[in-house]
Amino acid sequence: MTQKRIRLKFCLMGLPAFLGFVIFYIIPFVKSVGYSFIENTFSEKFVYFENYKTVFQNKYFRLAFTNTVIFSLVGVTVIVLLSLILSISLSKLSEKFSILKSAFVLPMVLPTASVIFFWQLLFDSDSYSAFTKIQSVGQFFEVLPIYLLFVWKNIGINIILITAALGKIPQSVYEAARLDGASNWKLSTKITFPLIIPTLFFVVMLSFVNSLKIFKESYLYYGTNYPPDSVYSIQYYMNNHFYKLNYQNLSTAVVIFTLTIAVLVFVLYKFENKFSESTF
């Protein structure tokens, strides 16, 4: 079989996935961009950037956007740091403790509804409700269950990826560095961390995507379209405008949020490339 025929077979095998991506993602997004520039779906009058102006002036959009950014930044930072610490600790354990690594994956396979039911029982207490009513820290305790749920549910896959990356580093590299008098700090900063940068970048991106998918758990936990202000995210905003059939507002919010994510991914990608080049 020639190389050309092999490539053709691979292209044909990937064609259904590519068509599905175009039909269910690219085309709807292009239509959303078009909706963001018209007055409504009936008149289809072109209104330039009026919808964007309206959305930016909406205090609930600003609240939702701010909450989403804060949740992603804080949540991703916490989960990546915890994943790195736990992965390093687990990589030093013997094989008989390998079951501990598998235990971190368990939250990913549990049904969401049963997890939320347990979470509601855990945080539905008079003492915890009292904390949420304290003016100075009330907002923190209102959103704390969602942060904990996000970390608990998604930390498993991060640990698996980082542990696998740590296991691929040849021990001969560490032995040679120790012979040269390198300390544990030097081993970590000059060998371990630089060699797992690509994996850490992927873990950061995966965690960021998962932080945007926490809406289902948040919706089930609070059981309403209008949760506390500190929890009101961009997904709540878009979901509510979908129910109101306000497609122009919804589409505009989608475009703004998508562009924000694209810029963030581009910056992270450039940072990862620059760091890798400066390291090696």
Query: Is the pLDDT confidence value at 9 over 90?
Result: no
Per-residue pLDDT, averaged over 107-114, amounts to 78
Query: Is the pLDDT confidence value at 165 over 80?
Result: yes
Which of 138-152, 153-167, 177-191 has the largest mean confidence? 153-167
Domain membership flag for residue 24: no
Domain membership flag for residue 214: yes
pTM: 0.82
Domain membership flag for residue 26: no
How confident is the model at residue 61, as a pLDDT?
A: 92
Mean pLDDT over each residue of the chain, to the nearest integer? 82
Closest by CA to 145, choosing from 123, 113, 129, is 123
Domain membership flag for residue 255: yes
The CATH number linked to 70 is 1.10.3720.10
For 118, phi then psi, to 5°, come to -65, -40
**What is the span of the domain harbouring residue 98?**
59-279
Domain membership flag for residue 90: yes
**97 or 150, which is more confident:** 150
* Residue range 37-52, pLDDT digits in tens: 888 777 778 888 898 9
Amino acid at 222: Y
Q: What is the 3-state secondary structure of 228-250?
A: CCCCCCHHHHHHHHHHCCCHHHH
Domain membership flag for residue 38: no
CA–CA dist 233, 62 (Å, integer): 10
Query: Is the pLDDT confidence value at 137 over 70?
Result: no
Count CA within 13 A, CB hemisphere, residue 266: 6
Domain membership flag for residue 205: yes
- 190: DSSP letter: I
- Look up residue 77 and give its two tokens: 């930072």
**101 or 206, which is more confident:** 206
- The residues near 277 (Cβ < 8 Å, ≥ 6 apart) are none
* Residue range 211-253, pLDDT digits in tens: 988 888 888 888 888 888 888 999 999 988 888 888 888 889 9
Query: Is the pLDDT confidence value at 153 over 60?
Result: yes
**112 or 101, which is more confident:** 112
Query: Is the pLDDT confidence value at 135 over 60?
Result: no
**200 or 7, which is more confident:** 200
- Radius of gyration of the chain, Cα coordinates, nearest whole angstrom: 23
| pLDDT > 90: percent of the chain | 14
Using pLDDT thresholds of 50, 70 and 90, give the confidence band for residue 273. Answer: confident
Give the number of domains in the chain: 1
How confident is the model at residue 244, as a pLDDT?
A: 84
